[in-house]
Structure formats: structure tokens, C-alpha cells
Amino acid sequence: MNLPRRRLLHLVVSAAALPVLPSTVFALDYPTHPVHVVVGFPAGIGPDITGRLMGQWLAERLGQQFVIDDRPGAAGNIATELVAKAPPDGYTLLVAVSSNAVNAALYKNVNFNFIRDFVPVGFIGSTPFVMVVTPSFPAKTVDEFIAYAKANPGKINMASQGIGTSPHVAGEMLKMMSGIDIVHVPYRVDLVPDLMAGRVQVYFSPMPQVIQYVRAGQLRALAVTTAMRADELPDVPALGEFVPGYEASGWYSICAPTGTPTEIIENLNREIAAGVADPNLKARFLAIGVVPKAMTPAEFGKFLADETEKWARVIKFAGIKVE
């Protein structure tokens, strides 16, 4: 009987009672050629920046290129499907982000299942979103923003990378909790130029994407979305200081197609954890607003399940649907 290679690897990894010599042999030499790390968003924003930093670290540690491949579109689903259908051999990885947990509940008609078709490899870190507005916007605080939005319903445009992305859901959470009416404007390309020009007025951005613009005064930060203020922007209040109970954060990680040999996953997890702990790389992550944190594959798996469940509740409550 000829089994497809993907199915065979799945059986080898899953059946503890069977020998795992084939996958062990392959894993001993991993990697023998460049590894593609697929990112579902444009270059220059949080997932791309974080993926490149970790990819460079893994290349130095493992002696092969880790090539970042940006495949933006469909709120990250294009990249996710590409990796889900790739051979489970460790040579095609996904920079999985908080949007993947949102998408798992939001998109019903995609050709993959994020929980079923991926295995957790390594957690990189988390980041606050930053609620930023164009400097010409009249509101200088969250209270002023909410008051302005209530006085001008439907006249504020909120940018995001697409329906169901974490920035979108973070904004929808504020709408839900504060009772304001703002208009969602999804983008497929870099939205920061339109934000700085005032064509859209507010964006719940991953911190790495906008921290330099905030520090330079090109964008105004009204709040961070975590429960407490962020060390990277200590003068920017937490949104929960104005809207009690509000909390959201983004995160970055590496996942692989289900069936990837356990030895490869464990090897990558060790190297990612070493990168997270390395003082120099850790400082580079912190400089862009990513708080590094290591997890074992099992810990990361539980985290993914919890995140997916949480955002499923938010999506149902807010009535968010794919158009």
C-alpha cells in the first residue's frame, strides 16, 4: 500500500508504539537546504519584522538560510493555506500571529483548519497594540476620542490589514465596550502612509510597526491595549484606564504543517527559546515593542487553544462576518 508522504509522516510521529527511525534520520541532518518562512502580511510590519529577526537568528544557529517569504492577503489566510499544504518536512514554516486565532473562528469556507493542520513550534513574544491617530486628529486622549466619535458617528475611519485581523478585532472590541460607531477600512497594502496623511484616522497597530513613527511625532499614540502601560512607551496610558476591562495583545510565533517530524519541531523550539533568551536578540525585540517569551510546544499548543476560544466569543458577540 502506498501512503502519501504527508500521511506517512503523520503516522510515524503519532504512533508512539512504532519506531521513529525514518524521521529521526531526516531530523539529524536538518536543515540541509534553505528554509522558507512564510509571512501573511506585507513587509515592514510586525509579523515581517519579527519573523526576519528570528529567521536571522535561526540561520546563524543552524547554518542554513531562513528565507522570509511575504504573502499578504485575505487577512493572512493566503499564507496560512500555502503552508498548510506544504510538505511537512520542516522546510516551510509559518509566522503565526494572533490573527490566526481570530481567523480560526471567523473564516468557515477556507481550505484548511488552523488547529488541525498546524503544529506549534515556538512562541516568540507578545506585543501591545497601539491605538494611534494622525497628528491632525482633534482628540488627544481616549476620552476625547470617544466623545468625538459619539458626536460624529460613522465619520471616523479605522484602518486594519483586513476583516478579522487582530487590529480589526481590537478596534471592534473598543466599539463594543464604549458604544461608538466608527467605520472599518481594510487594507491589503501598507496603510501607514494613508494614516499619516489623514485619509484614515485611527489604527490599532502592532507596536513594532509604528513605534518609530510615534517616537518621531509622526503619529499620536492615544493608548496601548494591554492591561498595563508598556515600558517602550511609558508615557502612553493603557486603554483600560479609560475603558475598564479592555485588554488585547498581539503575538508572534512559528508553526509548521501537521506531520512535521517531532525531532525537527523540538530542535526548532530549542533554538527559538535560545533566541528569546539571548540578551542581544532580546534587546532587539524589546526595542520594537515585542516582549520575548519562550514556550514548549505543549505550552504553546494550550495557548493557541485558549486564544482561539477567546476570540471566537468576541467575534460572536460583535457579529463580525466576512463580507
Note if the pTM is more than 0.85.
no
- Which amino acid type is present at position 94? L
State the pLDDT at residue 105: 86
Q: Where are the alpha helices (DSSP H) in 107-189?
A: 114-117, 142-151, 166-178
Residue 20 CA to residue 260 CA, distance in Å, equals 12
Question: Is residue 63 classed exposed, middle or buried when 0-12, 13-18 and 19+ CB atoms within 10 A define those classes?
Answer: exposed
Q: How far is CA 218 from CA 134, 237, 317, in A?
A: 8, 18, 35
Beta-bridged to residue 35, according to DSSP, are: 66
Residue position matching grid coordinates 483586513: 162
Residue ranges of domains in the chain, CATH in brackets: 5-127+250-318 (3.40.190.150), 128-241 (3.40.190.10)
State the pLDDT at residue 26: 52
Tens digit of each residue's pLDDT (9 = 90 or more) over 11-61:
334 433 334 445 454 566 899 999 999 999 989 888 999 999 999 999 999
Helices (H) then strands (E): counts for the chain: 13, 10
Q: Which residues of the chain have pLDDT under 50?
A: 1-21, 23, 25
For the chain, how big is the Rg over CA atoms in Å? Answer: 20
State the pLDDT at residue 27: 61
Report helix angle 297-318 to 98-106, nearest 10: 50
